Structure 1
Amino acid sequence: MIRTALARCWQRLQRRGLTLLVTGGAWMSYGAHISIQPRYGTVRGIGPLLDLMPMPGWGLVWLVCGAAAVVFSAARPGHDVLGIGGAIVPPLLWAVAYALGATVGGDPKAWGAIAPWASHAVVILIVVVGTRPRKVVMVPHG
């Protein structure tokens, strides 16, 4: 019975949905963490973003984006755009924030966090592009 349920779940999610599900869960966890108890290095590194909104607000952004990724993980390709955005936007935002933090007088060590955060978004994009359905074009015979 459990095997059947797992098989149905896998049949529905596949790699694309599983990527959104796992990423969404991770972003929700991270969002809760930075809302309640952000690390000192994170606060220093993303200083330019904190001029726009306090850390609990950014934590809420991560939570909402993560929830979107989880909710849309079971959607069919083409109907999961909000989930894909929810999975990709937060790490790209963090990569840009760390880049700004490293260049405009924030934390000079912030540059070390740019590639790790950007790589999350790139890996998700690779999975999304690699799992999009192929379009079948009918060629009329003349």
Structure 2
Amino acid sequence: MLLRQVRSRLGRRGIFLLILGVGKTCWGASFLFDPPDGAGLQLLTSMCDLRHWAWLWIVCGLATTVSAFLRIGRDRYGYVAALIPPTVWAVAYLAAVITGDYSRGLWVAIWYLTSHVGVIMWAATVPEYSVPPMPRRARKSEGA
């Protein structure tokens, strides 16, 4: 019962933002508790430790999560917040490729740009109720 209420309150866009927000927050927490070696992220680690960059993921993840509960139109801030960390990471990996520090960075950057940035940008344009109504003929044949 509670799950249905939450689902109807959030809608499709809100559920997507909730999933993104929790995921980004957890990803950021992983950098706090068990940071990776930072291969390909020299641009970021030259400014500060990956533990500090973890807070970018956490703050943006929390903002995305909170935005899941906002009305359509106001939820755009959640989509913007969701875009920031993967965009920063993609830029860092592309910089590592250009400087020759991490040749694999090109593929990681493309992965961030497609599976994160691209999907978020696409989802931001999907209206809450975009499913077309069932054709009239199909509705009549269901009861027959």
TM-score bracket, normalised by the shorter chain, equals 0.7 to 0.9
Question: 1:14 matched to which residue of 2?
Answer: 11
Does structure 1 residue 75 correspond to structure 2 residue 70?
yes
| Change in CA separation of 1:89 and 1:132 when aligned onto 2, cut-off 3 Å | farther
Question: 1:105 matched to which residue of 2?
Answer: 100
Equivalent of residue 29 in structure 2, options 32, 41, 52: 32
Question: 1:60 matched to which residue of 2?
Answer: 55
Moved more, 43-52 or 66-75: 43-52
Q: What is the rounded CA distance, in whole Å, between the counterparts of 2:63 and 2:80 in structure 1?
A: 8
Q: Which amino acid aligns with 2:3?
A: L
Gaps of 5+ in 1: 135-142
1:86-108 CA deviation, whole Å, 9 max, x = no partner?
21111111111111111113212
CA contact (8 A) 1:48 1:97 kept: yes
Equivalent of residue 126 in structure 1, options 115, 122, 126: 122
Q: What is the rounded CA distance, in whole Å, between the counterparts of 1:97 and 1:82 in structure 2?
A: 23
TM-score relative to the length of structure 2: 0.82
Length, aligned pairs only: 129
Equivalent of residue 117 in structure 1, options 108, 112, 125: 112
Q: Which runs of 4+ in 1 moved over 4 A?
A: none
Identity of aligned residues (%): 29
Q: Which amino acid aligns with 2:77?
A: L
Moved more, 85-94 or 63-72: 85-94
Work out which of the two has the higher radius of gyration on C-alpha atoms and give 1 or 2. Answer: 2
Gaps of 5+ in 2: 131-144
Deviation of residue 53 (structure 1)?
A: 2.0
TM-score relative to the length of structure 1: 0.83
